[in-house]
Amino acid sequence: MPEFLTTIREAAGGVMVLMPSITAVVRDEDGRVLVMRRADTGRWSLLSGICEPGEPPALTVVREVREEAGLTVEPTRLLCVFSTPPIEYPNGVATYVGSLFDCRVVGGELAALDGEALEFRWLPLDRLPEMHGMNILDWFPAPLAHLLDGGNAGLPGLSFAWDPAWVGRNP
């Protein structure tokens, strides 16, 4: 856990913490998506991570993919912004506000560098596994293939979740 997060947890205790995060959709030349099997849970995941204080989300994508997989990527599009339900950890509860980026590989060699990944696989979009014990893909406002095709509310490369029930709701 990064030092800044340890400091936040010490101050906040176990109460819910809102965490800015990124998720990377790293694709190869055949359109397959890079997934990793996490060392901490043994489950499959897209590459992801939390933003460091003052770090722009696009830079977080580059840093996290390099740290986790040894690849240098260029984020080409912001696909959507999403949020997670509260997730309980041994030291407290967190919810993530995530930026999902489409990325292309521009260098590096695929390797588990920071110990977070046990293995990697390049998989077609229609064969992505359940992730994190829940389906992270369900947190996105549209199916991943739809977001990658730019079919998100007529805004190429940008979308967000919308619930019509929010209209008229008192803050």
**HSE of 116 in the Cβ direction (CA atoms, 13 Å)?**
17
Question: Tokens standing for 169?
Answer: 């709701």
Given this model, what pLDDT does residue 138 score?
A: 62
pLDDT tens per residue, range 67-107: 999 999 998 888 888 888 898 888 899 998 999 999 999 99
Q: Which domains does the chain have, with CATH numbers?
A: 18-124 (3.90.79.10)
Separation CA 116–CA 1 (nearest Å): 12
pLDDT tens per residue, range 21-65: 999 999 999 999 999 998 888 888 899 999 999 888 999 999 999
Separation CA 145–CA 147 (nearest Å): 5
Given this model, what pLDDT does residue 105 score?
A: 95
Instruction: Report which DSSP code applies to 8.
Output: H
Given this model, what pLDDT does residue 159 score?
A: 46
Q: Where are the beta strands (DSSP E) in 28-130?
A: 33-38, 44-45, 47-50, 71-83, 87-89, 92-108, 117-123
Separation CA 80–CA 97 (nearest Å): 11
Q: Under a CB-based contact definition with an 8 Å cutoff, are residues 95 and 15 in contact?
A: no
Mean pLDDT for 113-127 is 91
Q: Under a CB-based contact definition with an 8 Å cutoff, are residues 111 and 139 in contact?
A: no
pLDDT tens per residue, range 21-33: 999 999 999 999 9
Report which of 25, 20, 17 is spatially closest to residue 88, judged by C-alpha positions.
17
